[in-house]
Copies of this chain bind each other. A is one copy, B any other.
Amino acid sequence: MNALAIESPLVVASNRGPVSFYPEADGQLRSERGSGGLVTALAGVLFEADATWIAAAMTVGDREVAASNRTVEVDPVGHMGFLEIPSDRYEGYYNGIANHILWFLHHHLWEVATDPVFDEGTQRAWEDYREVNRLFAHALDAEQGRNPVYLIQDYHLSLVPGFLRELQPRARIAHFSHTPFVGPTFIRLLPDEMRESLLRGMLGADVLGFQSEQWAENFLLCVRDLPGARVDLRRRRVSVDGRTVLVRSYPIALDPGPLRRTAASAEVKQLRKELEAWKGDAKLLLRVDRMELSKNVPRGFMAYERFLLDHPNWYGRVKFLALLPPSRTEIAEYAEYADRSFEEAERVNAKYGTDDWQPVEIRAKEDYVGAVAAYGLYDALLVNPVFDGMNLVAMEGPLVNKRNGVLVLSRNAGAFARLGRHAVPINPFDLNETADAIRFALEMPNDQRMRRARGLARAVLAHSPARWLTTQLRDVDAAQGLGSESAQQLEESGGAFHHDVGGFAQDRGGLVTEHGDLPHEH
């Protein structure tokens, strides 16, 4: 029984679950929703569809649930189950591979001349990653009695589709990447075995979902070098192991209800009042980002400095509020990046600040309601990631903002495909363009601001989480239908299948062979 009228039971897997459990004094388990984040956003629609959700156990209560080998019911009609990750595996899996290699890879964050260096440590961490992914696959396989559709989330679990496919050849599997996906040249930084395993692992799914077309296409381009896989770039399909994998974009959607309820809460109203007092008559330029290497914090301050340098008429008339909750502070690069960001802001304040005016204010703590309060007030919202799978801030801000605030948006955010035409577009590496965009946003005439703000809100609301889910489910069935169809065609017509999957694959000649990495010469 589920509210979305979805025919199949759903089993979701992600590293971090939307709910954690804590033991009470009486021995009962109390559940608590996680704060913020994509997974929480998905929890609404997925639990509404009566999903069973499997995540890594993070708390004592989670471990109790994991040990009991059962799932626990949570609102509205979902179930949470937990997987106990062996403690000696978690570090290698989570920090070693997922966050320190795959995250850096997909966001192009390495300084290639000297970084990355892959060594035994990488090898061991990769074994941990494989093992944790294998454990997830077994936990999912245990749910097979109900013949569910499996929905596997993100780069932590790239190998799960492949392992699960081995256990259940006919399983219905979708994998969704919340990050960008790296291009075909840059992915060759990975050790070859890791690159191949990663791509093959993901190809265990029937459907591979991405936040935007460009990430889906990058995946397809990467797979073209994979022996035995045939890519149809035009139809966004891969043919592998006699199956068809659909590679598509399903941009995530926001459920506006909870966000608007938060925005209307007394707490947010109070915070908004305080912010208004702090802001005074100045215009508010806002950014809301985790202190994350991909978020492009230092260049944001540098561009603001450039804007001030060129437009002294704005001195004292604008404040840049940067809400930057900390992130992965245990990784050296992140700590350095935070220092660097603070230094840039201090430099701007030292250069332009007066007794009456502090050009930049950073608030570096976890404060979701504070962010929602600030959403209401901005005149311009700066979202300038170097690369970003989607970017939720770019969607949340326009839903809550009350001042026809203008969105300055990086072309390299997945959200750009949806919101770009109503935003002021920037190349995030280009200080001049970013500085000009800030001025343009702050000085935009009211009618244009209103038109764009409406366009943004409309674009965000045009997509529903339910549709994000149902299109993936529809495509899982479509892929399974195609799989047998294609295999049959292949059998009937000899080479015809090869031809049928599009002109693209056949042209690669020597590339789609055993020597997949030896392009033939002219």
Contact = CB atoms under 8 A, between A and B. Distances in A.
B185 A429 contact: no
Residue in A299, A411, A418 whose Cβ sees the most chain B Cβ within 10 Å:
A299
B117 A112 contact: no
A504 interface: yes
Contact of A114 (B114, B180, B340): B340
A302 B117 contact: yes
A117 B427 CA distance: 11
A386 B113 contact: yes
Residue in A113, A118, A299 whose Cβ sees the most chain B Cβ within 10 Å:
A113
Given A185-B108, A213-B519, A192 B427 contact: yes
A306 interface: yes
Interface of A: 107-120, 123, 180, 182-186, 188-192, 212-214, 218, 221, 233-234, 248-251, 293-294, 296, 298-299, 302, 306, 333, 337, 340, 386-387, 411-412, 416-418, 420-421, 425, 427, 429-433, 471, 502-504, 507, 515, 517-522
A109 B118 contact: no
A432 B340 CA distance: 33
Contacts of A111: 109-111, 115
A432 B517 CA distance: 19
Contact of A515 (B188, B189, B421): B421
Contacts of A425: 517
A306 B119 contact: yes
A290 B234 CA distance: 42
A198 to B, nearest CB: 14
A234 B191 contact: no
A188 B433 CA distance: 14
A387 to B, nearest CB: 8
Contact of A214 (B112, B185, B417): B185
Given A212-B521, A249-B522, A420-B518, 14 more contacts: A110-B112, A112-B386, A113-B386, A118-B429, A183-B184, A185-B387, A189-B429, A190-B427, A192-B427, A212-B519, A234-B503, A234-B507, A418-B521, A503-B503
Contact of A520 (B108, B184, B417): B417
A518 B416 contact: yes
Contacts of A411: 188, 192, 517
